[in-house]
Amino acid sequence: MVTFRTGVEGDYDEVNQLVQRAFLNDTEGREWAEERALFEPDRSVLAVDGDQVVGHVGTFTRDLTVPGGVLAAGFVTVVAVAGTHRRRGLASAMLTRQLREIRDRGEALALLWASEAGIYGRYGYGLASRRLRFEIDRREVRIDGSRFDKSRLDGLRLRAAPAAVHRAQVAEVYERVRPSRPGFASRDDRWWDYRLADQAWHRGGAGPLQAVVCFDGDTPVGYALYRFRSNWNDSGPNGEVGVMETVAATPAAYTMLWDFLLNVDLTRTVGMWLGAIDEPLQYLVNDVRRLGMGMGDGLWARLLDVPAALGGRRYAAEVDVVLEVVDELLPGCGGVFRLRGGPDHATCEPTTDAADLRLDTSTLAAVYLGGNSLGSLAAAGRVEELRPGGVATTAPAFTWTRAPHALEIF
């Protein structure tokens, strides 16, 4: 008989084995110190058959930047069910219990990366951000001087070294930028240990993790994390730069970092898997087609406290709207709410007033970070307009200056 329980500290090894098998990973020669340090057993839900762990869902405690604010959130991770116990409702039971526990902790929303995108809509998650993949032919791409005055780079300088050397500067830049970029998550020392971990199996055949930091005087104003992959063919050098993340506090720093990444000797391609959907590089180069872009899904979000979530962000335009939010999985999370907000204020409270718009919780999650258009979702039949013109007057408010961008998979 399968039972469910909260995790304890000694569960890590068995949980890790379950997850690695579920994700088809080869664990030979791997060490798990950085991952183990992130494990929060009291936020894990385990399915147990006798003395065997056959299912797991976990949560990380972190803050998330939302448009105009920062909120505590539950970061959902390592969702797995043993192949011997599939199709028994274990995942559904664990994920539903987890959502209730996140809500009861006072966190307004849950977030995850979906290994199977078709799963999570049934639990009220909506696709809240997207990512761009780049496969750049660097011999054909350069920063276009007609689009960016390179004299603005005067006074800036770069330093490149193994990532661990620049840990303090990288963290300083990240913390400066994080409060203003929806989708960024808090990183304490444990998370920096994990992000900068450089075990051989992290490298995927590439070289050690590197950092290039842009300085304005003595102040770090941008960085990129990357790896080199050396390769040669009959035509000569054919190396690759694999970019893990770029973060910059100024346009000049961003441009200088990319100018460096696009001009590494003995390389022919530059790849980045987790680029922002509004990545500025698209508007800086001479030939956008040579960026080799492809789009994928990013963060999935699930609102658990509608007043706290909507009141905790800001809005690109003034809005006063009554929303009927339908939550079939957790009816207590739904209801009718009046949202009033703007660029520097927001309140959201239950109301008995007639609703202007009706939408389910996954649709509300999809627009929450500003990454999707309320009008597009209405055109897909995902928003019911109960007051004529309600979509047109509400949609502009849910946009934001920058698209949400999730830099890391957790």
pLDDT for position 154: 85
**Using CA atoms, how far apart are residues 302 and 102, in angstroms rounded to an integer?**
11
Active site residue 410: yes
Helix (H) or strand (E) holding 146: none
pLDDT for position 379: 98
pLDDT for position 92: 97
190 Cβ contact partners less than 8 Å away, ≥ 6 residues apart: 34, 37, 38
Provide the β-strand partners of residue 359: 325, 383
This prediction's pTM: 0.94
Q: Is the dihedral of CA 131, 137, 138, 144 positive or negative?
A: negative
The per-residue pLDDT for range 308-351, each reduced to its tens digit, is 999 999 999 999 999 999 999 999 999 999 999 999 999 999 99
**Using CA atoms, how far apart are residues 112 and 326, in angstroms rounded to an integer?**
21
pLDDT for position 361: 98
Cα 132-133-138 angle, rounded to 5 deg: 120
Q: How many CB atoms lie within 10 A of CB 147?
A: 11
**Furthest-apart CA atoms within the chain: distance in Å:** 73
Written as one string, the DSSP assignment of 180-235 is GSTT-B---HHHHHHHT---GGGSTTS---EEEEEEETTEEEEEEEEEEE--EETT
Helix (H) or strand (E) holding 390: helix 390-394
Name the 3-class secondary structure at 58.
strand
With a cut of 50, which residues of the chain have pLDDT below it? none
Which of 130, 57, 50, 40 has its CA nearest to residue 93? 57
**DSSP-derived secondary structure letter, 143:** B
**What's the start-to-end Cα distance of the chain, in Å?**
31
pLDDT for position 201: 79
Which of 12, 39, 75, 120 is labelled catalytic? 120
pLDDT for position 204: 81
Please, are residues 155 and 214 in contact by the beta-carbon 8 Å criterion? no
Please, are residues 1 and 39 in contact by the beta-carbon 8 Å criterion? no
**Using CA atoms, how far apart are residues 28 and 11, in angstroms rounded to an integer?**
20
pLDDT for position 153: 82
Please, are residues 111 and 301 in contact by the beta-carbon 8 Å criterion? yes
Which of 125, 223, 368, 410 is labelled catalytic? 410
User: Encoding tokens for residue 33?
Assistant: 């110190």
